[in-house]
Amino acid sequence: MKKVLHYINGKSDPGHGEREGFVFNPSTGEKLYPCAYADSATVDAAVSVAAEAGKAWKSMSHARRIEVIYKFRQIVLENTHELAVLIGVEHGKTIDDAKGEIARAVESIEFATNEPHLSKGEYSRNVGGGIDVFSTREALGVVGCIAPFNFPVMVPLMMATMAIACGNSVVLKPSEKVPSSAIKLGELLKDAGLPDGVWNVVNGDREAVDAMLEHPGIAAVSFVGSTPIGEYIYQKGSQYNKRVMSFTGGKNHMIVMPDADLEAAANAFVSAGYGSASQRCMAISLLIPVGEETASKLIELIVPKIKELKVGSYDTPHADFGAVISQQSKDMAEKALEDAIAAGAKILVDGRGVEVKGKKGGFYIGPSLLDGITTDMDFYKKEVFAPVRGVLRASSLDHAIEITNTHEYGNGAVIYTRDGYSASKFGELVEAGMIGINVPVPVPAGYHNFGGLRRSKFGDGHLFGPDAVRFYTKIKTFSQRWPGSAESSIYSINFPSNK
C-alpha cells in the first residue's frame, strides 16, 4: 500500500517518528493510505535542511529567484488537472471547484513576481553632517506554514510563494487529511529550479505543530484554520518570540436590502453559501434579509434553487459540490441542524439522508436551509463548516449591522443593495476585514491584503498583498558617512544630532 511520507531536501523522507494516520477518500468513505506523522526530530531535521539551503537561496539575485517563480507558474498551469484530481480524491471537492482553487493560487504566484519592487528599501541623502540613511529588507530565514484541509493548493501557495520569493526557506505542515498536494507542489517547484531544501513538507498533527512553534530555528509562522487552534498557535508562537499571522473562523453575513436585485441576491447566496460543500472560511453562513417582505420574497426564490443543487463524488460530471471532509464533519453538521430545530428554527430544506449512487459510504450531506435563526442560538454563534445555512431576519439596516457585529468573528460581510448610502454606511460600521458590496465572496485579488478582524485573525500580518512582503522580511537601517581624507574628527560626548 502507498504511504505518504514527508518531503525534505527535495525528496521523500520517512522521518524519525513512528506515528501515522490514514488519509480517507471523502467521496467513498474508504481509507486510501497511511500518512507518516512528524515528531520533533523530524521537524528539527527539516528546519536544519531549510536553514542550510536558505543561506544560498537568499543570497541569489532577485532576478534568479523570480525566474524560478515565473517558471513555477507555467508548470502549475500545465499540471492543473493532476493537482485538481489530487485535491478531489483527498478533499472531496469537485474537479471544477478544485481547478478554480488552483486558478486563485496562480494569482499568488503571479503576485510574488513583484517581490523585487515590494521589498525595495528607502534612501535619504545627507540627513545631516554628510550622513546618508537607507534601509533594506532581508529574508527572515526559515518560516513555518500550517495549512488547512479546505484549500490544499491555494492556501499553501498564498502563504509560501511570497516567502520564497523574498529569499526565505519554508517548512510546511499541510492538513494530515490532504497531504499529497503539498508534496506535489514541492516536486513542481524543484522542476522549476528551486534548490533542494528550500521547500520542505512535514505531515502530522498537534505534535508536529508544537515542534514547529517551539523550534528556535523558525522565525515566523503563518496559519489558516479554526479559531481555537489559531488562537493557540498565535499565543504559543508569540511565547516563543516568533512572528505569527493566524487566520481563523468566519461566520459571514449577507445583508439584503429591500431595494436590492433579489434574483441576483438569491443566486449569490446559493453560490456563495453552498459551494465546496460550504467548507470555505469566506462562505456565506447567514442570510439577513431586511424586512419581512424581503425575507418572504428571497426565500421563495432561494428554496427552489437550493433543491436543484446536485451533490456528487469529486469526479461526478456536473455535480455542484461533493462530500464534506470526514464522518465527524458530517455528524457535527447534522447535529448543528438538529440543535437549531430544537431551539426553534424552522427547516426549509433538509439535506440529511442524501445518497450518491455507488458511493454509499461517502461523507455526504445535502444542502440545508433553516429559517428563524436568532442570535441566542448556537447555530448563530458557531461556524458550521458544512452545507447547512440559515436565515436571520432583520427589521432595518441598523438592526442587520448590529446582528453582524454582535458575532465574535469578523472575516467577511456582504450587502446587496442599489442604494449608495446604505452601502457606505454598511462599509463604515461593519467590523469585518473583507467587505462585499453586491459581491458575494469578497476575497480580494492577489495584490490586495487578505484577512479578517476580531477573532477571525490574530496577529498583524495579512495573506496576499504587499503586507506579505512585510511579514516575511526584516528591516535593516544603515547610517553611513564617508568623510574626506583631509577632514578632521571632532570628538563629543553629547548625544549625536543630525544638525
Q: Which of 210, 150, 147 is nearest to 182 (CA)?
A: 147
| Confidence band, pLDDT 50/70/90 cuts, at residue 28 | very high
On the question of pLDDT at 485 being above 60, the answer is no
CB-CB contact of 353 with 330 (8 Å) = no
**For residues 358-383, average pLDDT:** 94
Supply the residues annotated as catalytic. 281
Residues of the chain with CATH 3.40.605.10: 6-248+456-478
Phi, psi of 94 (to 5 degrees): -65, 160
CB-CB contact of 183 with 7 (8 Å) = yes
Q: What is the pLDDT of residues 99-124, one digit of tens each?
A: 999 999 999 999 999 999 999 999 99
Residues of the chain with CATH 3.40.309.10: 252-437
| Confidence band, pLDDT 50/70/90 cuts, at residue 256 | very high
Question: pTM for the whole thing?
Answer: 0.92
CB-CB contact of 321 with 270 (8 Å) = no
Residue 483: per-residue pLDDT: 81
Alpha-carbon distances, residue 403 vs 139, 147, 390, 410 (angstroms): 43, 30, 13, 12
Residue type, 85: V
| Confidence band, pLDDT 50/70/90 cuts, at residue 422 | very high
Residue 489: per-residue pLDDT: 61
Q: Which residues are CB-contacts of 7 (< 8 A; sequence separation ≥ 6)? A: 13, 182, 183, 186, 187, 199, 200, 201
Q: Which helix (H) or strand (E) holds 55?
A: helix 40-59
Domain 6-248+456-478: CATH class, spelled out = alpha beta
In whole numbers, what is the pLDDT of the chain averaged over residues? 93
CA angle (337 as vertex; 335, 341 as ends), nearest 5: 115
> What dotted CATH number matches 252-437?
3.40.309.10
Q: What is the pLDDT of residues 174-189, one digit of tens each?
A: 999 999 999 999 999 9
